[in-house]
Amino acid sequence: MTDKRNVWVSIEQDEGQLAEVSLELLAKAREIAGLLGSEVWGIVCGSNIGELAEKVIHYGADQVLLADDPELENYRTLPFCRAIASMAQQGRPYIFLIGATPVGRDLAPRLASALKVGLTADCTDLQIGDYVSKKDNTVYKDLLYQVRPAFGGNIIATIVNPKTRPQMATVREGVMRRNEPDTSR
């Protein structure tokens, strides 16, 4: 388990433009990090992307990790997964959020597999709360409640992952509100 409870966000970008869902996730990550007393870290992959770090900080990240390499200019599953998995293995995030875009839906399960953790796909809400295991009555504090529609949208499921870290989720576009950039950050 990780000793820090940082919230990481995979920042999707295309030709220097940040994806809207990534900005939404930074806002939600800020909220969650505030509850956990932790930091928000953004991860950006690409080529010649150094100028994006400041934008990511303006939208809520405390730290930004860049994987800047010509091989990462265009999205390809394995190079992106290797770069991000390496950073996550070293940084040991508590929570890892990825946009449920075509890229995110491709990357997230491979990343979860590389990190040997669970993944909840297509979340529509994220919250922090405690969980009591009915199996052994163990109380797990400050878990990520991963909320998503189930059974064709007829019910809402809340999923928790008490045992492995990071707790990973992909989040649908347009379900979170983004913050305005704060250029004083």
Q: What's this model's pTM, rounded to 2 decimal places? A: 0.95
Q: What is the pLDDT of residues 38-83, one digit of tens each?
A: 999 999 999 999 999 999 999 999 999 999 999 999 999 999 999 9
Task: Please say if the pLDDT value at position 87 is more than 70.
Answer: yes
Nearest to 121 by CA among 84, 80, 157, 174: 157
Distance, CA of 175 to CA of 178 (rounded, Å) = 10
Chain-centre distance of CA 60, in angstroms?
13
Distance, CA of 29 to CA of 107 (rounded, Å) = 19
